[in-house]
Amino acid sequence: MVESRASGTISSVNRALSLLELLAENNGLTVTQIADRLGTGKATAFRLTKTLVERGWAEKDDELRYRLGPGLLSLAPALQVGQEIRGRLRPIMDELHDETQETVHLTVLRGRYVTYIEQLVSPKPVHSVSTLGGRSPAHCVSPGLAQLAVLPDDAVDWMLAAPLRRYTERSLTNPDDVRKQLERVRSVGYAVNRGAFRAEVGGVGAAVLDERGKPVAALSVCMPIYRMQTSNLDAVGEQLVAASVDARRVLKLSQLP
């Protein structure tokens, strides 16, 4: 390990953490892509990925692409809480999955990102898939916007204080534009994303609230952009709002003695 005298940090640890963040933002990367984005040699990128795979924090698929691994699910208390609620909400997710025939996600908001804790993949030949334990920027995806919309103003101000990264041409990078989007979400009860994080993928999401009106999770329906153009998104949104109400009731009942 090499210590950076200028910052007092350990470069190899920084690279490993940067790699985890990189994998969280992408659905599969090769060693060459990882080396290019981290600014390292392929040998270094390979050693980093090999180490994470051995710890279960990353996994490699048949196409030699790396993604976040299941080992990360045991690290954060937030995800442990997520593991508790996903079993309770699975019947509601199953119903949404049957009704929409699209991929259904359950996410929790942590910091400026949403973390995927459960998914039911669409049976259609072309579908979108996320990695359990993976993250997406909250301001770019429907479950993130749905949860941001029910936060108090000071929490939203904190979320929008950091620079908003542009992932696609549809990404909102102006905080005022995000606030306008959140106003629309509040008015209808659900959020719509049309390719703001991944250009070819969008979705509709609604927040699941606790008894104090704070978001504990979000349910979302995710689909390719070309299917969004012919889908009744208002109907999907209404289904999600109803499902989120049911989810709130289920979680409240599960807390009774």
Q: Please give the C-alpha separations between residue 207 and each of 113, 129, 183, 213, 219, in angstroms, as whole numbers.
A: 14, 20, 14, 10, 6
pTM score of the predicted model: 0.70
Residue 76 pLDDT > 70: no
- Residue 254: pLDDT band (50, 70, 90) is low
CA atoms within 13 A on the CB side of 149: 26
Distance from C-alpha of 141 to C-alpha of 157, rounded to nearest angstrom: 18
CATH code of the region 11-72: 1.10.10.10
- Residue 4: pLDDT band (50, 70, 90) is very low
Residue 94 pLDDT > 90: yes
Residue spans of the domains in the chain: they are 11-72, 76-254
Nearest to 239 by CA among 93, 51, 32: 93
Lowest mean pLDDT among 127-141, 184-198, 223-237: 127-141
Distance from C-alpha of 157 to C-alpha of 30, rounded to nearest angstrom: 36
Q: What is the mean pLDDT of residues 251-257?
A: 64
- Residue 228: pLDDT band (50, 70, 90) is very high
Residue 3 pLDDT > 50: no
Please, where are the H alpha helices in 136-232? Answer: 142-148, 153-159, 175-188, 225-228
Lowest mean pLDDT among 39-43, 60-64, 86-90, 251-255: 251-255
Lowest mean pLDDT among 16-25, 79-88, 105-114: 79-88
Residue 127 pLDDT > 60: yes
Residue 138 pLDDT > 70: yes
CATH code of the region 76-254: 3.30.450.40
Tell me the one-letter amino acid at 148: L
pLDDT given for residue 190 in this prediction: 98
Q: What percent of the chain has pLDDT over 90?
A: 54
